Amino acid sequence: MACESESGMSVLEVQNLKVYFESVWGNYKVVDGVSFKTHKNEVFSIAGESGCGKSTLVDGILRLIKPPGHIHSGKVIFEGTNLLEIPEDEFRRIRWVKIAYVPQGAMNSLNPVLRVEEQITDAILDHSNMSKEESRELAISMLEKVSLPVEVARMYPHELSGGMKQRVIIATAIALNPILVIADEPTTALDVVVQKSILQLLGSLKENYGMTTIMISHDMAAHAQIADRIAIMYAGKVVEIGSIYDVFEQPLHPYTKGLISAIPSIGKKYVKSISGLAPGPLNWPKGCRFHPRCPSAMDICSEVEPTMKDVSSERHIACHLYE
């Protein structure tokens, strides 16, 4: 597929992943054929509005889909193995050790009756062969790495602010030195100043520890601040992938264009919403899924679904305008 020459560099490769949810009305095609590659040592962003399938995509990658949802087809290649084919206990050895996950609203997932240190050591002991003493030391050194004071180790979650809890979660996630960290909406519900500190922490993982980070967010400003490359999702599909600078400077897909010009920001005079409403996953529009809202729609757009094409080695887009 795209950029074969760099395949040696890719950490995670998703190939045509489809996650469907069964219902009496038919299949909800929430993630419907998503492909992308993350390079080593980068922050790869996945952007999209609510309902576009970005969180389900992550659940699919990590095999966290529960019935009535199922993975319809596709591959998730990590270190040469397809994660979707290996047995669950084998996958358990990869999860958290090699791929860490910071779920949405993670700061509310801390156990209220356990001290911070116990929560971190729990995760470490569960996924490694360390002794209790070793894991405790590691836990405390991890807190330092995410700029939390040592006293936090002895505290309970209710004593911490939202930003501190999020940092505890990130400390737990990176404790076993994973290759890949996946963070789903890591800054939602945090204050502006704290948001900045969490984003800077996530952005520093690649330099400080050589990790690759996948960040999912609806917040284009968050992506603009720390991402290296970005994938834009719309209606269960990726419509555009490119370097963050290219995508913001010259968005190609009409949806990306609309999304970027729809964000109010300081000093920006021209802001405009995309007309129409996002479609639902039971009946995606025929042809290109964006065509009912697209200002440059052509006849072909309502008939034929566009496929992902390479505009350049680093720029991929699914739109009939660029064929």
In order of 63, 118, 124, 125, 126, the CA distances from 131 in angstroms are: 29, 13, 10, 8, 11
Output 14 or 199, the one with its CB closest to another protein.
199
Q: According to the binding rule CB under 8 A, does residue 278 interact with another protein?
A: yes
Which residues share a beta bridge with 242? 230
Output 66 or 272, the one with its CB closest to another protein.
272
The residues in 172-191 that bind another protein, with binding defined as CB under 8 A, are: 191
Q: How far is the CB of 270 from another protein (least distance, A)?
A: 10
Q: According to the binding rule CB under 8 A, does residue 285 interact with another protein?
A: no
Q: According to the binding rule CB under 8 A, does residue 200 interact with another protein?
A: yes
Sign of the dihedral defined by the CA atoms of residues 111, 114, 119, 123, in that order: negative
Q: According to the binding rule CB under 8 A, does residue 24 interact with another protein?
A: no
In order of 57, 92, 250, 279, the CA distances from 65 in angstroms are: 9, 15, 35, 22
Beta strand spans in 42-118 (E):
43-47, 69-78, 81-82, 99-102
Cα 129 to its chain centre, rounded Å, is 29
Question: Segment contacting another protein (CB under 8 A): 15-23, 89-97, 242-250, 304-312?
Answer: 242-250
| Residues in contact with 254: Cβ distance below 8 Å, sequence separation at least 6, in sequence order | 290, 294, 295, 296, 319, 321
Output 285 or 300, the one with its CB closest to another protein.
285
Output 23 or 82, the one with its CB closest to another protein.
23
The residues in 42-81 that bind another protein, with binding defined as CB under 8 A, are: 49-51
Q: Which residues bind another protein (CB under 8 A)?
A: 49-51, 147, 159, 161-164, 191-197, 199-200, 218-227, 244-245, 248-249, 258-260, 262-268, 271-274, 277-278
